[in-house]
Amino acid sequence: MPDSPLLEVRDLQVHFPIRKGVLQRARGVVRAVDGVSFAIGRGETLGLVGESGCGKSTTGLALMGLTPATGGIVRIDGMAPQRLRGAAMRAWRRRMQIVFQDPFSSLNPRQRVADILRAPLDIHRIGTPAERRERVADLMARVGLRPDQAGNYPHEFSGGQRQRIGIARALALRPDLIICDEPVSALDVSVQAQILNLLSDLQEEYGLSFLMISHDLGVVEHVSHRVAVMYLGRIVEIADKARLFEAPGHPYTELLLRSAPVMDPRRRRRFSAQANEIGAAGAAPGGCAFAPRCPLATDLCRTTTPALTPRDPRQSVACHHR
């Protein structure tokens, strides 16, 4: 990876107020994303993995400005959007795009595919009308849709084809980085493989970077160069893929790996029915959020939040005992 990262995220926070009572006063705060920092290089895929409610999707939305961040800095090639205006701001925004999980709800049912794909070009005033038409045709061909389908509506497509439309839309503005928020979780296994292959082809062809948000360890392990593990709003471990899967540093990463079923009936693990439940983000006490479920937890863990600390250049872990 080159020295200066393409995307740099420092101390990103997304806090939502909890409103209660008749006057809807803020009575507390949900720290959905609580100080998340990472970087992604050119042509690199960073996997962001964690369970529901850990804040991984909110992280993606905040990077896109689709949910307001309450703190932190996002830089692309060293540039933060705060001081940008007008055309410079639009140019900044073009560089990062998103593909959503649900190809059913993320496409306007009343727009034809051609209109869906042309919208980003119209908004950013790219090319002449003829050039835009040509670009739409190119995009459709690139993601494996037939040109005669341009006049069809989303409901006329299967789930996998709809996800191809979503990917084509993200590609329309020639971004450097695409945030993929669970791009294959709604799809059947055979179709999922088609979409993952398409994404890897696109990465090779255009040198794209991906932030691959997923709960599926198999998907993350397949596509990522590096992997970040989130738990209740924080990154608890970030490491090279091989290191993370071979020598996980954080007890939560270990739990995740131990829980994932393996495609080999000769290497079965004995799953246990322990009743440890995931904590709620609103009720996270001081200290390490994983402490209530952690076999290593001590008093220190319950009072002091461990910082994400590098063990070596390949792996950083947020744990007092590792």
Partner 1 sequence: MRIAAESGAFEVVSGLSLAVRPRETLCIVGESGCGKSMTALALMRLLPEAAQVSAGSIRLGGQDFLALPERRVEDMRGDTIAMIFQEPLTALNPVMSIGAQIAEAVRRHRDVGRAEAWSRAVAALATVRMPQPDLRARQFPHELSGGMRQRAMIALALVCDPDVVIADEPTTALDVTIQAQILGLLSDLQERNGAAVVLITHDLAVVAEVADRVIVMYAGRKVEEAAVTVLFDRPLHPYTLGLMGAVPRGKGGAGRLADIPGTVPALWDLPAGCAFAPRCPRASERCRRERPDLRDHGAGHLVACWNVDDAR
Please select the residue that binds partner 1; options are 22, 23, 130, 275, rule is CB under 8 A: 275
Residue 261 in the binding site for partner 1 (CB under 8 A): yes
- Type of residue at 245: F
274 near partner 1, judged by CB under 8 A: yes
CA angle 135/138/143 to nearest 5° reads: 125
Of 163, 192, 315, 316, which one interacts with partner 1 (CB under 8 A)?
A: 192
Of 163 and 173, nearer to partner 1 (C-beta) is 163
Q: Under the criterion CB under 8 A, does residue 158 sit at the interface with partner 1?
A: yes
Count, residues in the chain: 322
Q: Tokens 């890897």, residue? A: 200
* Ramachandran angles phi, psi of 206, nearest 5°: -105, 0
Interface map 1-40 toward partner 1 (x if CB under 8 A): ----------------------------------------
Residue 255 binds partner 1 (CB under 8 A): yes
And the tokens for 294? 């952690």
Cβ proximity to partner 1, 86 vs 271, nearer residue? 271
Q: Sheet containing 177-181: which strands, arranged edge to edge?
A: 96-99, 177-181, 209-214, 45-49, 226-231, 234-240, 315-317, 309-312
**Interaction of residue 264 with partner 1, rule CB under 8 A:** yes
302 phi and psi angles, rounded to 5 deg: -80, -15
Binding of partner 1 by 221 (CB under 8 A): yes
155 near partner 1 (CB under 8 A): no
Tell me which residue has tokens 């190809």: 103
Beta strand 226-231 pairing with 234-240: antiparallel
Min dist CB 51 to partner 1, Å, is 4
What does the binding site for partner 1 look like in residue numbers (CB under 8 A)?
Answer: 45, 51-52, 158, 160, 188-194, 196-197, 200, 215-219, 221-225, 241, 245, 255-256, 258-266, 268-275, 277-278
